[in-house]
């Protein structure tokens, strides 16, 4: 089981890193060929991707839960069929309505100006078609996840990104404009859906349709009654990033939406690396029926996430500016500040991923609704409190405050329902704070010493990582038992890990 979990995690990280590399290469080409304003339009219209949240009804996450618990059986076969049917029933009328209201959405909601409509209209149409494939395909990746074959889901996503970004680049270079970008998005999603369907059915086996007519509505009620809480969580989260983009387009401008989108993409990339490592825990936690075991897993892994993200946060703060300078080359200050604040706070928030999985899998999904609602409320309140004095930066501060408030509430839920916190003691937390302060000083002096941006970008993460290992060893934050738990009792990784990271 440990080997499969490690495989699932590593393939997720690899898929994410390659996706980041593709996007990093594509965005400057996009902005150079089509302009910053067109990229802002692209960022706004791709908010339509959140249509998935509107029609998902939480079914894909609840499907992973039920299939993980039930395994391969007649009820599980029918759960898959019912989930796909319900999603299709929600998806078709909402997609049709989105087509009907196209002009109103583009002009009044997204505030697309008339001179940009010739490209925005076709991109909007293609984005809706792409969403149909992306949503239905999630049913089949949920099947793979329930089988602990997250590695296959990751491989399919990797293939999708190898189509998505290169096709967008090709469209931009070929002079096809936003119409070509939309065609690229639609084609990539259709191919991904087909591949996901084929791979999932090969892994799961034939589906049993017998008796489906009699059991359809009871199974639908089961899935919807549980999934609705997950759905509400996702629905509330829909108000976070898209609402911020819409607020920026109304109060600041479309160009600033593009700046915010770049920072959000960097946040998503950093957050995805951490979340991909730990996503395999969700079906695993769903299958565990011992609360004591779940408590230990959530508590222990959150500690390890914090240990991982502390040096990452320090590195992000100091590499943001040289990275933007070398990557984009313009609007350096506004982009580097945005990336540093948003990515850092999301890394802190990512430490409570295991507790979020616990709430989702163990009959407490309503609490995730509250977590998302708190994020949205704090984000909006801070935005309107600061917009008149800080302008664009109100969105950045609002995002950071929202994530930190949700993080605090998640820790409180963990104490209430699992009777545990992230750290074993206050001294352990103080040690980690001391490590972070030390790494910030190391990063600051490294930036001063390095004579060029490229050296800063290369050396800051290396220097901070080396000092982090030294400080973790001196502070004894990791024990040999921790290393053996994650890398096995024997083996090269276990021996090297204990030698480098453990004080004794």
Residue 234 lies in a domain: no
Residue 66 lies in a domain: yes
Calculate the CA 31 to chain-centre distance.
Answer: 24
Residue 203 lies in a domain: yes
pLDDT of residue 235: 64
Question: From CA 394, how far away is CA 387, in angstroms rounded?
Answer: 5
Number of domains in the chain: 3
Question: From CA 44, how far away is CA 316, in angstroms rounded?
Answer: 26
pLDDT of residue 409: 94
Among 391, 421, 451, the domain boundary falls at: 421
Among 390, 421, 452, the domain boundary falls at: 421
- Are 121 and 254 in a shared domain? no
pLDDT of residue 179: 87
- Are 434 and 406 in a shared domain? no
- Are 128 and 262 in a shared domain? no
pLDDT of residue 50: 54
pLDDT of residue 155: 87
Residue 97 lies in a domain: yes
CA distances from 35 to 29, 30, 38, 116 (A): 9, 7, 5, 12
For residue 432, give both structure tokens. 């980690």
- Are 402 and 287 in a shared domain? yes
- Are 161 and 283 in a shared domain? no
- Are 406 and 447 in a shared domain? no
Closest residue by Cα to residue 111 from 174, 51, 45, 61:
45
- Are 346 and 453 in a shared domain? no
Show the domain range for 322.
Answer: 239-421
pLDDT of residue 411: 93
- Are 247 and 214 in a shared domain? no
- Are 388 and 493 in a shared domain? no
Query: Per residue of the chain (504 residues), what is the pLDDT tens digit?
Result: 556 666 666 776 777 778 778 887 888 888 888 887 788 888 778 776 555 555 565 677 788 888 887 788 888 888 898 888 888 888 888 888 888 988 888 888 777 777 778 778 888 889 888 988 988 898 999 899 888 788 888 889 889 988 988 888 888 888 788 888 889 989 999 999 999 999 999 999 888 888 888 888 888 888 877 777 666 666 666 677 778 888 888 888 777 888 888 888 888 777 777 777 777 777 778 777 788 888 988 888 899 888 888 999 999 999 999 999 998 887 888 899 999 999 999 899 888 988 988 888 887 878 888 888 899 899 999 999 999 998 899 999 999 999 999 999 999 999 999 988 888 888 888 999 999 999 999 999 999 999 899 999 999 999 999 999 899 888 888 887 877 777 776 667 677 777 787 776
CA distances from 86 to 54, 98, 141 (A): 13, 19, 16
3-state secondary structure labels for all residues of 324-340 = HHHHCCCCHHHHHHHHH
- Are 364 and 430 in a shared domain? no
pLDDT of residue 475: 85
Query: How does pLDDT run across 76-103, given as a tens digit for each residue?
Result: 888 898 888 888 888 888 888 888 988 8
- Are 452 and 434 in a shared domain? yes
The structure tokens 């400080």 sit at 471
Please classify residue 140 by burial: count the beta carbons closer than 10 Å to its beta carbon, then call 0-12 exposed, 13-18 middle and 19+ buried.
buried
Please classify residue 480 by burial: count the beta carbons closer than 10 Å to its beta carbon, then call 0-12 exposed, 13-18 middle and 19+ buried.
middle
Nearby residues of 67 by Cβ (< 8 Å), 6 or more positions away: 76, 79, 80, 142, 143, 146, 147
- Are 446 and 399 in a shared domain? no
Residue 70 lies in a domain: yes
Residue 233 lies in a domain: no
Question: From CA 2, how far away is CA 354, in angstroms rounded?
Answer: 17
pLDDT of residue 446: 93
């Amino acid at each position: 089981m440990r080997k499969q979990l490690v495989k699932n995690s590593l393939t997720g990280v690899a898929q994410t890193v390659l996706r980041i590399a593709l996007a990093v290469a594509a965005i400057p080409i996009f902005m150079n060929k089509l302009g910053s304003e067109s990229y802002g339009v692209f960022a706004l219209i791709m908010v339509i991707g959140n249509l998935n949240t509107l029609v998902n009804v939480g079914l894909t996450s609840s499907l992973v839960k039920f299939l993980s618990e039930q395994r391969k059986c007649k009820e599980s076969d029918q759960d898959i069929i019912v989930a796909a049917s319900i999603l299709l029933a929600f998806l078709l009328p909402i997609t049709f309505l989105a087509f009907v209201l196209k002009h109103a959405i583009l002009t009044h909601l997204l505030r697309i100006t008339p001179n940009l409509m010739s490209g925005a209209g076709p991109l909007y149409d293609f984005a809706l078609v792409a969403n149909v494939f992306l949503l239905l395909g999630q049913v089949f990746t949920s099947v793979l996840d329930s089988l602990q074959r997250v590695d296959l889901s990751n491989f399919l996503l990797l293939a999708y990104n190898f189509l998505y970004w290169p096709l967008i680049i090709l469209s931009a270079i070929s002079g096809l404009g936003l119409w070509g970008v939309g065609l690229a998005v639609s084609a990539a999603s259709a191919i991904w859906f087909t591949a996901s369907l084929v791979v999932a059915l090969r892994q799961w086996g034939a589906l049993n349709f017998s008796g489906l007519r009699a059991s359809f509505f009871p199974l639908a009620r089961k899935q919807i009654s549980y999934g609705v809480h997950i759905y509400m969580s996702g629905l509330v989260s829909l108000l976070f990033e898209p609402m911020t983009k819409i607020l920026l387009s109304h109060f600041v401008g479309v160009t600033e939406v593009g700046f915010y989108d770049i920072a959000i993409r960097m946040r998503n990339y950093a957050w995805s690396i951490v979340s991909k490592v730990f996503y395999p825990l969700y079906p695993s936690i769903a299958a565990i029926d011992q609360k004591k075991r779940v408590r230990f897993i959530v508590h222990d892994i959150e500690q390890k996430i914090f240990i991982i993200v502390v040096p990452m946060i320090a590195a992000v703060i100091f590499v943001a500016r040289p990275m933007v300078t070398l990557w984009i080359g313009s609007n350096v200050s506004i982009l580097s500040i945005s990336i540093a604040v948003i990515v850092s706070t999301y890394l802190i928030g990512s430490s409570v991923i295991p507790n979020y999985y616990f709430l989702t899998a163990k009959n407490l999904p309503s609490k995730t609704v509250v977590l998302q609602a708190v994020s949205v409320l704090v984000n909006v309140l801070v935005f309107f409190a600061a917009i008149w004095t800080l302008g664009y930066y109100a969105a950045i501060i609002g995002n950071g405050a929202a994530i930190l408030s949700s993080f605090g509430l998640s820790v409180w839920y963990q104490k209430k329902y699992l009777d545990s916190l992230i750290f074993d003691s206050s001294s352990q937390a103080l040690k980690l704070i001391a490590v972070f302060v030390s790494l910030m000083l190391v990063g600051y002096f490294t930036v001063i010493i390095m004579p060029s941006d490229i050296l800063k970008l290369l050396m800051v993460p290396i220097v901070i990582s080396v000092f982090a290992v030294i400080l973790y060893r001196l502070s004894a934050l990791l024990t040999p038992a921790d290393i053996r738990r994650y890398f096995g009792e024997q083996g090269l990784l276990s021996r090297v890990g204990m030698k480098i990271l453990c004080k004794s």
